[in-house]
Structure 1
């Protein structure tokens, strides 16, 4: 099954792992854009990475992975909810090169991970410089700097498949835990190829890599494309821009049209809609609240 995240645990070691594969979600998101193959691969890697990160959360939240740079790729933003919804967008200044790694694609870049609890709680953000020449290496750097948890990450994307794997050493829970397990797990996991990550079933990947280990598998978590945009959210944004700007746009274009940066869904507002946005509710006639 595609678009699933599989968690696993080393029974006699303080190590957890995850494997994620995204086919429908990756295809749906890049199919709404005209990005080059190089940018599509970065989007796919970002989707896999964000799904892996969200699965490590212990409470319901929204998690954002944001890469910004002064290079050809100016922005990569991927968002996930712990319920399994994913969306992504990218912006470029110029053609993003196929080779050269992140040093060429996202020069002088930073990686920010933002966690926003769904209920009461503080928003958290960790920011690190891009390091290691790949998004996977940058994530390992983030965990080392911000979380102090030894973590290894593998990512691969090639239309129509995006995939990733994470293993993480947890704080020691027992003195009886295998002291050599983390080093051994890292060596075994490092033998996986990008093609295997994308094309083999997650259970087969885990068995091939760790067949001599005592592994506990958990039920897979379904993932899907989900954009949180809505007409109401766009209307609120237009109100924030101000009545004068909206009326100028109406005069120039005959309507106000906004496309969601994530899903490219169009939202159109005509003169009646704009009038309603800037008319106090108590002053509206019943007809002004009808949908257009």
Structure 2
């Protein structure tokens, strides 16, 4: 039985209709992300919902690479960002003006940006405007405007854990299918309460919603926090700045200090690291 104590992504489908679903639970994974930051509660909640949504959408990744969801906003909370790869590794950040006392998060006049970055192949990015609502509404707006598969999202976060539920109508050439299934299945999912999505295991939740349907539940995959930053990645980035510019920076400041905004890992480069940053200068 699937329990909510683990960080899991699990697919389900309906035998009588071309509809698939995903359920995601982020507990330790979400805690690992937010403990590295001092976000206000309402930002934790919004970021948790976006991370759950990103986990749900990562189930469609058929390549090695990364899926990134961004919500760009015009207010003092300017960015919510979550990333996932094909192995279920997640990370996320928020950018906001800490001097603003406002504890409200408005999606009015924002943008939803979805980026797919395969290790091999072409990068894809889709951008759409969003107006009001929440993370789930923003995603549904995106799918509606981009004319992709009809999709519905239910997301919940209490600041400590996050969960998500997704339905997607699949194309089908079968003539004899349940024509009312999408409306019925979506309507039943709309009855999910936050405490049920966060607290019930997947089998119990699906039984509560669809005990009159034939639902197929597939093996779950693990989700976990993982940051892709590394000293080598930063060294490569500094190398691209150029030898002369780095030398001048070191002469001025003594060291180059970099903090990863996702995991808060600190990296420091000094004069002694120039051979590491520019190995070609050591060739004679």
Please, what TM-score do these two structures have when normalized by structure 2? Answer: 0.92
Task: Please tell me whether the aligned partners of residues 143 and 151 of structure 2 are also in contact (alpha carbons under 8 angstroms).
Answer: yes
Cα distance 1:33–1:134, how it changes in 2: closer, same or farther (>3 A)?
A: same
The answer to whether the aligner puts 1:161 opposite 2:166 as a matched pair is no
Superposed counterparts of 1:107-118, under 5 Å: 108-118=109-119
* Counterparts of 1:208 and 1:173, CA distance in 2: 30
Task: Please tell me whether the aligned partners of residues 62 and 86 of structure 2 are also in contact (alpha carbons under 8 angstroms).
Answer: no
The answer to whether the aligner puts 1:170 opposite 2:175 as a matched pair is no
In structure 1, what is the equivalent of residue 87 of structure 2? 83
* Counterparts of 2:96 and 2:58, CA distance in 1: 26
How far did 1:206 drift? Answer: 1.2
The answer to whether the aligner puts 1:44 opposite 2:76 as a matched pair is no
* Counterparts of 1:282 and 1:99, CA distance in 2: 54
In structure 2, what is the equivalent of residue 142 of structure 1? 142
Cα distance 1:92–1:122, how it changes in 2: closer, same or farther (>3 A)?
A: same
* Counterparts of 1:251 and 1:182, CA distance in 2: 65
- Give CA deviations for 1:72-96 in whole Å, capped at 9, x if unaligned: 1112221100111111111113437
* Counterparts of 1:187 and 1:101, CA distance in 2: 26
In structure 1, what is the equivalent of residue 196 of structure 2? 196
Please, what TM-score do these two structures have when normalized by structure 1? Answer: 0.89
Task: Please tell me whether the aligned partners of residues 63 and 116 of structure 1 are also in contact (alpha carbons under 8 angstroms).
Answer: yes
Of 51, 60, 65, the match for 1:61? 65
How far did 1:228 drift? Answer: 0.9
How far did 1:68 drift? Answer: 1.4
CA RMSD of aligned residues (A): 1.8
* Counterparts of 1:92 and 1:182, CA distance in 2: 38
The answer to whether the aligner puts 1:21 opposite 2:22 as a matched pair is no
Structure 2 segments unaligned to the other structure (5+ residues): none
Cα distance 1:47–1:40, how it changes in 2: closer, same or farther (>3 A)?
A: same
How far did 1:249 drift? Answer: 3.6
* Counterparts of 1:246 and 1:58, CA distance in 2: 39
The answer to whether the aligner puts 1:35 opposite 2:36 as a matched pair is no
* Counterparts of 2:181 and 2:227, CA distance in 1: 40
* Counterparts of 1:278 and 1:122, CA distance in 2: 30
Local SS of the residue matching 2:137: helix
In structure 2, what is the equivalent of residue 289 of structure 1? none
Local SS of the residue matching 1:144: helix
* Counterparts of 1:263 and 1:100, CA distance in 2: 23
How far did 1:115 drift? Answer: 1.0
* Counterparts of 2:45 and 2:253, CA distance in 1: 36
Task: Please tell me whether the aligned partners of residues 38 and 96 of structure 1 are also in contact (alpha carbons under 8 angstroms).
Answer: no
Superposed counterparts of 1:1-292, under 5 Å: 1-94=5-98, 95=100, 97-99=102-104, 101-103=106-108, 108-119=109-120, 121-278=121-278, 280=280, 282-283=282-283
* Counterparts of 2:128 and 2:217, CA distance in 1: 32
